[in-house]
Chains A and B, each alone.
Chain A
Amino acid sequence: MIPAATRYERATDVEHALELLGEPDAKAIAGGQSLIPVMKLRIARPSLVVDISRLELRGIEERDGALHVGPLTTWADLVDAELPVGLEAITECAREVGDLQVRNLGTIGGSIVHADPASDMPAVLLALGARLAIRSPEGVRDVALADVLVGPFTTALGPQDLVTDVVVPTPAAGSGSAYASVEHPASGFALVGAAALASPGDETVALTGVGATPFVLDGDPREAIAAAEIFGDRFASEEYRRELALVVAERALESARARSGR
């Protein structure tokens, strides 16, 4: 359980972090709750660990019609925060991520860029239409989360890209959202997770745990789940997961509708 030899540097600001991340095989560490376990297994063997955990990218603020969540905001911060009406799914999901110790250190930005295909919060953020601000040596760009998650443990981010803001549009009045999942009892990871946003005249559902990345269902959930590419493994067959996806999606939708006042 000892990581391979590496070097450690603490970034003093974002520019410093980007500079350090220019070294081949350097890796940014925030809460470390995904990275350190894979370093212990030596699946990840970074030459340099760039500690970004003390950068001023932590905190939650509502402005300009959106909730801005700093990528270093921990799950515990999110659980304790008072979020705008309509964003209930974020709190509901954060409360169940990992365990208490993981929630104390693990960050929302770390979860996004780790890109675990069964991660919970990315599904919630997809259903809510979240976008990311990405900082690189070339400047800042604004990208839809859906365009960042490209495969299992794979993002569209380059080695010198840092997420600097997670932007969640504040839902229209009369909206509600929810997250529901059925977890593997030992790992706690979602066999199927579903996030739903019910807004006046519109409903969005995103799934996690069933494919290469979390994804938004296109159109009617029943038809979309029937047509979706869903995988099976030793924990749950494709047929079982597909059936479960429908059940969990309906649970999330019902709960989101109830919160929206319908």
Chain B
Amino acid sequence: MSRALQLVVNGEPRSLEIDDRTLLVHALRDGLGLTGAHIGCDTSQCGACSVLLDGRAVKSCTVLARQAEDRQITTIEGLAPDGDMHPLQKAFVEHHGLQCGFCTPGVILTAADLLSRDAAPSDDAIRHALRGNLCRCTGYQGIVESIRAAGGSS
């Protein structure tokens, strides 16, 4: 059953028509054209679709879009305003934090959640926080170094 839904995405109120069963990731990608949330698995395991919901990282494939109504959704497109780069994005460029880049939006938003709770996390804390984000390039060392470098500066 298709019905109207209001979402607040990257600070902007957005309206769309979706089925009740629609997952947040499909509402973002297909409904709003925000394709930065990637779909890397069918099973809620890869974390490539991670977005922030009221500042906390969640897998947008494991939230019904309607559950996110009236809550603040931040996607990779909205992490840094006005075309600037977020300190995490800069650190990923500088410290070789990505190879193919598919997992990167999810990794960066998960890291943004981590850094909001712990501004200077240990490598163990970074690795623990990344358990729900898979990188098929296996570039984890560069990812950890990038997040460590962004810690304290964001």
Contacts and interface: CB of A to CB of B under 8 A. Distances in A.
Interface of A: 1-8, 10, 29, 32-33, 36-37, 39-41, 49, 51, 53, 76, 98-102, 104-105, 188
Nearest to A98: B132
A5 B58 contact: no
B145 interface: no
B110 interface: yes
Contacts of A32: 62-64, 67
Given A101-B132, A104-B113, A40 B63 contact: no
Contact of B62 (A36, A49, A51, A100): A36
Contacts of B63: 32, 36, 105
30 contacts: A1-B39, A1-B42, A3-B21, A5-B19, A5-B21, A6-B20, A7-B20, A8-B64, A10-B66, A32-B63, A32-B67, A36-B23, A36-B44, A49-B20, A51-B67, A53-B67, A99-B131, A99-B132, A100-B57, A100-B113, A100-B128, A100-B129, A100-B130, A101-B47, A101-B57, A102-B59, A102-B62, A104-B53, A104-B57, A105-B53
A76 B114 CA distance: 12
Interface string B128-147: 11111100000000000000
B1 interface: yes
Given A51-B67, A101-B50, A37 B56 contact: no
Contact of A2 (B23, B43, B47): B23
- Which of A39, A53, A102 has the most chain B CB atoms inside 10 A of its CB? A102
- Which of B44, B56, B63 has the most chain A CB atoms inside 10 A of its CB? B44
Interface residues of B, number: 32
A35 B21 CA distance: 13
Nearest to A46: B21
B61 interface: yes
Contacts of B38: none
B22 to A, nearest CB: 8
